[in-house]
Structure 1
Amino acid sequence: MKETKKKVVNIQEYKEKRKQKEVDRNELIALIKQIATLK
């Protein structure tokens, strides 16, 4: 029981981290586009 709960929490954490990574990537792309348009 405890093990499965731990796994579920890990999966949720993993999804959150992945979501965060995608947000970071999108922000980075936006920043690069801004710099490119400024030049």
Structure 2
Amino acid sequence: ESRAPDALGDRGSRKSDLEQKLENLNKEKHHLVQMLKQ
């Protein structure tokens, strides 16, 4: 029973981790595009 909340917490933090990585990738891509446009 005590495992259920932990599993949910893990899943939640993993999702936010992925979202953060996607955000960082988008920022890097945007930065590269700006550099290429110059």
Same fold (TM over 0.5): yes
The runs of 4+ residues in structure 1 deviating greater than 6 Å are none
How many residue pairs end up in the alignment? Answer: 34
* Aligned residue runs from structure 1 range 13-32, under 5 A: 13-32=17-36
Residue among 6, 10, 28 paired with 1:6? 10
Structure 2 unaligned spans of 5+: none
Q: TM-score, normalised by structure 1?
A: 0.82
C-alpha distance in structure 2 between counterparts of 1:11 and 1:31, whole Å: 30
For 2:16 and 2:33, the matched residues in 1 are separated by: 26
Tell me the amino acid that sits aligned with residue 4 of structure 1: L
Q: State the TM-score, normalized to the length of structure 2.
A: 0.84
Structure 1: which 5+ runs fail to align? 35-39
**Identity of matched residues, %:** 12
